[in-house]
Amino acid sequence: MPSDSETSNESQNYPLHTRPLAERKFERKALKLAARLMPCKSIGRGVKEVSKLIRRGQHGICLIAADTYPVTVYAHLPVLCERNDVPYCFVRSKRRLADLLGTGQSDDEKKTGGAGCSVVLILEPTTESEKAGLTEDDRKDYEKLHKKASEGLRQVREFHVVK
């Protein structure tokens, strides 16, 4: 288990705009939950789809890949999430997001390092059909992750407030 100093050193390897960077444990749990929710259609993938869902009032947890380049691809998402009270955090790898969610890649894209999944929105289950597809553990995990993401975002906001 990495110490606090190792974790802080690791977060220094990522640009400043990728705050809040998810802790490894949080990231692992969020990605596993997203993979379990894929069959329930409770996931939004890609910048365009996630932006549309948030603008239409959908709530959930937004995961943004920190290694997405250029930054302008997703630069509007943190602001959009904050305006709509959707907690968000940055995860380390778009490749890992794509692998866990089963986003297909051709062999050429794998060789060149292209393609991946840069943004995922884990939707809050609202309808009865969505709730029926979830186990009790999934619901508890979602609530814990939502709370943790909100707390992490609150800490970042407090850090950036100028007094």
What are the pLDDT tens digits along the chain (163 aa)? 344 444 455 556 777 677 788 888 888 888 888 888 887 778 899 999 999 999 999 989 999 999 888 889 999 999 999 899 999 989 988 888 888 777 655 444 554 455 678 899 988 877 665 666 677 888 888 888 888 888 876 666 554 444 4
Domain segments of the chain: what residues? 21-160
Amino acid at site 43: I
Rounded Cα distance between 100 and 8, Å, is 26
Rounded Cα distance between 2 and 100, Å, is 23
Judged on CB neighbours under 10 Å (0-12, 13-18, 19+), 31 is buried
Rounded Cα distance between 14 and 67, Å, is 8
Hey, how many other C-beta atoms are within 10 angstroms of the C-beta on 5? Answer: 8
Q: Give 5's Cβ-side CA count (13 Å radius).
A: 0
| The CATH number of domain 21-160, selected from 3.90.1150.10, 2.40.30.10, 3.40.50.620, 3.30.1330.30 | 3.30.1330.30
